[in-house]
Amino acid sequence: MLGGLLLFLVHAIGLTCEGRRPLYNAPVRIVSILSSVTILPYYAILAIDPDRSRVAYLTSLPVREGLSKVSGYYAISLLFTIFGIIVAASFRGRLPSSSAASEAKTSTPATVLLLFGFCVALVIVKLSAAGGLFYIIGNIASRAELLAGTGVYDIFLTPAIFLTILHATRVHSQRRMRLILLIFIVSSLFVLLAVFGGRKIPIFILLFAWIAYQKYVRKIPLISLTSVGLTALIVIFFSAMLEWRVNNQTGSAGDFKAGAVSTIANLSYLDTYLFITDYFDNHPKWQGSSFKDLIARFMIPGPYGNPPLDEGVYIRTLAEGYHVVPSLPFSLMYPSSWPPESYGNGYANFGLIGALLFSAIRGIVIGTGFAIARSHGFGPKSFFLALTTAFNFHFTNLRLTQLAMVLCGFVVIILIERLGARIARMRIR
């Protein structure tokens, strides 16, 4: 299929166009790696067996035909993301050299200890608010309901976790922390977040640590025992978490093959893109009305409450057969989400032009983040912001809100950093 060939070609371009530039300074490669993992394996499965798609019964086109179309559209949108990154990341504006120097001063053992303690304390508070560790483990299938209302802790927990990793790695590179202690910190944070049943943040913890180690300590080849081991650990963890949640819900174990395919499908947004592209080719597009939900969230709610911040709730409700449009109250819709990300949100609002435009905006934001990090010498704070945009930013209400929340928590974490730096100076005196 032509669309499939284009899909693999664009990913190959993204993985190689930055040459031998180190990974921490290669935003196009980072984005291409993440896209390769979430799109290509499931594409291969559907190309061989299209009936495995969970939206096969929802689309007007046969899956194989729709797959060819969507893969081509997505490949072009990824090209627009790559172009946006390259243009924005090439910005040569330089900040005063004191910026990088001031960031370096905050990387101290005291800072790592304070941030790590802050993370542990927040996890304990969040666990208590959700009913306790053993209650969550025993009811992991209902994790969404158990964790409802605890998102306020994530505003501070998310930046604290990743900054702890970045500072710990930098302190280790300065020979002020043993490797075993760095491994302990990363492993502890991984376990602390894994107990909530989520997969995304624990996996991001490992990837952040891998990239940070390449920046602050030494380069790790993409094809190496460490890289292969990390990939295997992520796959095993993802599969185990999915199996745990399914078994908790059904009370029985499934077969390995079905579980493996389910794992790959859950990691991918391809089914969501298939459904969105087909649905909005046959129904009126939103014409930007979904962004009104951001404003509506700050208004006095109506009798049925406010609309959702996540456009994926509309997509999931549409998939259930209900006709919904922004800004319908969340209480009247299906209580789940298929996040559309930049491609899907753009297509739902303006068709293919919207998908390309939103993808380009995503690339510009990511490229700008890396341009700022580069001008700051890839200090922990600027490096964190750059990696956060590369890993998690899309031009949707949900991702915009999440980015704003992270920035709010980021301010508090900076205060903790400064306290750690002050403690270090007091010890020197």
Judge contact between 157 and 140, C-beta under 8 A. Answer: no
**Token pair belonging to 416:** 């903790």
C-alpha–C-alpha distance, residues 375 and 326, integer Å: 40
- The amino acid at 205: I
pLDDT given for residue 302 in this prediction:
66
The continuous run of DSSP H or E covering 343 comes out as helix 341-375
Residue 311 pLDDT > 90, yes or no?
Answer: yes
Residue 184 pLDDT > 80, yes or no?
Answer: yes
Please write the tens of the pLDDT for every residue from 277-294.
999 999 999 999 999 888
Is the pTM higher than 0.95? The answer reads no
| First and final C-alpha spacing in the chain | 68
Q: What is the mean pLDDT of residues 3-10?
A: 94
pLDDT given for residue 364 in this prediction:
96
pLDDT given for residue 97 in this prediction:
45
Residue 379 or 289, more confident:
289
Residue 86 or 327, more confident:
86
189 alpha-carbon distance from chain centroid: 17
Residue 245 pLDDT > 60, yes or no?
Answer: no
pLDDT given for residue 96 in this prediction:
45
C-alpha–C-alpha distance, residues 111 and 379, integer Å: 14
CA distances from 126 to 22, 147, 241 (A): 37, 8, 20
Please write the tens of the pLDDT for every residue from 44-95.
999 999 999 999 999 999 999 999 999 999 999 999 999 999 999 887 555 4
pLDDT given for residue 259 in this prediction:
62
Residue 417 pLDDT > 80, yes or no?
Answer: no
Q: What is the mean pLDDT of residues 25-38?
A: 93
Please give the radius of gyration of the chain, using alpha carbons only, rounded to the nearest integer: 22
**Pick from 188, 115, 88, 102: nearest CA to 390:** 88
Residue 100 pLDDT > 60, yes or no?
Answer: no
pLDDT given for residue 424 in this prediction:
63
3-state secondary structure of 302: strand
Judge contact between 358 and 182, C-beta under 8 A. Answer: no
Residue 302 or 101, more confident:
302
Please write the tens of the pLDDT for every residue from 12-26.
999 999 988 888 899
CA distances from 78 to 14, 33, 159, 275 (A): 9, 12, 27, 19
Please write the tens of the pLDDT for every residue from 332-344.
888 888 999 999 9
Beta bridge partners of residue 302, listed in sequence order: 305
**Pick from 409, 351, 404: nearest CA to 156:** 409
Backbone angles phi, psi at 302, to 5 degrees: -80, -170
pLDDT given for residue 58 in this prediction:
93
